[in-house]
Amino acid sequence: MKLCLNHRIARDDRATGGFSLVELLVVISVIAIIAALSLPFISGILGDGGEIQNQRNAQTIASVAAAAQAAGNVTIGAAADLDAAINLIQSNTVVGMGAFVDMKFSISTIAAEDVTQAKAYLTFADGMIHYDP
């Protein structure tokens, strides 16, 4: 009888030493469910990054055009439409006048594809490029 009692005590001590396989599977399952539920939220945040970049590019284009016009350049104002005005800035032919005669106003650091996407946030009115979010 004493032998059985000792065996039972030893077995109980060993069972409380860690997590069972079922407990580990439950925890892993809960983590997997939480990860699966959070993926659409995370991908939505990452997807907005492209839109924000397009808005920043549009702001840069409008700022470069405004700076060129403030420096005395009249070619942007004489452009027929938004595409023509942006093409002038992209071609690196927009230069300042007077004290800014040696300055070139360009958006050469923005890729052509990014400029195309940024056009959605730009308007051309009164001879100026305007950022319109």
Q: Are 130 and 123 in contact (CB under 8 A)?
A: yes
Number of domains within the chain: 1
Query: E strands of 1-133, at which residues?
Result: 94-95, 104-105, 122-125, 128-131
Residue 28 has pLDDT above 90, yes or no: yes
For the chain, the C-alpha Rg in angstroms (whole number) is: 32
Partners of 128 in beta bridges = 125
Q: Note down the domain range covering 38.
A: 2-131
- Give the integer Cα–Cα distance in Å for 84 and 65: 12
Which pLDDT value is given to residue 127? 87
Q: Is the pTM of this model over 0.95?
A: no
Q: Read off the DSSP letter of residue 79.
A: -
Each residue's pLDDT tens digit, 47-95 = 667 888 899 999 999 998 888 888 888 888 888 899 988 888 888 777 7
